[in-house]
Structure 1
Amino acid sequence: MYDFVNTSLGWFHLVTALVALISGAYVLFKPKGTKRHKQVGYIYVFSMILVCSSALGIYNLTGNFGIFHILAIGGISTLIAGMIPLLIKSMKEEYRVFHLWFMYYSVLGLYAAFASELSVRIPEKPFYTMVGIATGIIFLFGSVFIFWKEGKWKKYFVK
């Protein structure tokens, strides 16, 4: 396990990522708008802020600022975009669909990062090819799911 995570920042990143993976899955698959959804959702948001922030300080995979750092910035961006419709109370109800879109893509990004992290650990495989394949598969299936659910979201929020 030493080769898997070898710094305290790496362990912090791993633990907060696991919290985000679990809480993110919960909010995706459980009913929306409930008190529990909101509670677990805020756990997800806080853990994602910690995951993305800690990712910006980890350089032992490539040795310099790279694709995972850029994706961490993208993760923070989708998280912020997903929270804006909820934090601005004067926004119309239909803008809450944007909350769902961006939060689903935030979780997809997290799962793509997880799949990429696992796939680059396969010995003697091309790094960027593995990251691309893992990310592409997650986003393909996730996007199909999001487009399928969008009609239901609009019926719920747009009255």
Structure 2
Amino acid sequence: MDELIQSPVSLIHVGAAIVALATGTFVIMKPKGTARHQQVGYVYVVSMMVVLTTAFGIYRLFGRFGIVHWGAVFSWLALIGGIGTVWLRAHLRNWLLWHYLGMSLSVMGLYTTFVVEATYRLFPARFFWWTTLGTSLVSFAVGSLLIYNYSSLSRQPAEAADRGWPVMD
């Protein structure tokens, strides 16, 4: 744990990440569009904002701006795309599709980062890229299946098509 928590920034980062993992999983697995979905979803968004902001203050891996920080940039874009479409839904025809895609990418990025962070320390440094790329691919594959299975895309194809969502048969 000493290696994981090296500063107050990393402590805040890890704490917010735990909240984001819990709330992100809750939102994925529960019914969409409910008041609870919205409440827990906003907790997820705020916790992810903290996670992504504090990520830019942690440089222990490379000592400079690195691939982890680029991941945070892309995660910010996914998060903004996912929540921004909700705020602009009156002006966006397919806002629900874009909300779903943005938030799904955000959660998959969070899961992937968790798996990579938990596993790369288990191997010698010379395997860093292989372990991070391998676990990232597996995480994205599993995350994609879970998100698809818990979405209305897999349960109500006719309704999804009516909303302008892609339907996968």
Same fold (TM over 0.5): yes
Detail structure 1 runs of 4+ shifted over 6 Å in the superposition: none
Determine the structure 2 residue equivalent to 1:158.
Answer: 163
Determine the structure 2 residue equivalent to 1:104.
Answer: 104
Between the aligned partners of 1:127 and 1:59, the Cα distance in structure 2 is: 16
| Residue deviations 1:46-66 (CA, integer Å, cap 9, x gap) | 000110010011001121111
Q: State the Cα RMSD in Å.
A: 2.0
Whichever residue aligns with residue 128 of structure 1, its letter is W
What SS class does the counterpart of residue 122 from structure 2 fall into?
coil
Whichever residue aligns with residue 155 of structure 1, its letter is E
Determine the structure 1 residue equivalent to 2:167.
Answer: none
**8 Å contact kept, 1:97–1:153:** no
- CA separation of 1:98 and 1:89: change in aligned 2, threshold 3 A: closer
Whichever residue aligns with residue 134 of structure 1, its letter is T
Between the aligned partners of 1:97 and 1:88, the Cα distance in structure 2 is: 13
Identity of aligned residues (%): 33
The number of residues matched between the two structures is 159
Between the aligned partners of 2:142 and 2:81, the Cα distance in structure 1 is: 22
TM-score, structure 1 as length reference: 0.90
Whichever residue aligns with residue 74 of structure 1, its letter is F
Determine the structure 2 residue equivalent to 1:119.
Answer: 119
Determine the structure 2 residue equivalent to 1:128.
Answer: 129
Determine the structure 2 residue equivalent to 1:51.
Answer: 51
Asked whether 1:31 is paired with 2:31, we answer: yes
**8 Å contact kept, 2:111–2:143:** no
Question: Which stretches in structure 2 are left out of the alignment for 5+ residues?
Answer: 165-169
Between the aligned partners of 2:158 and 2:105, the Cα distance in structure 1 is: 17
Between the aligned partners of 1:15 and 1:77, the Cα distance in structure 2 is: 22
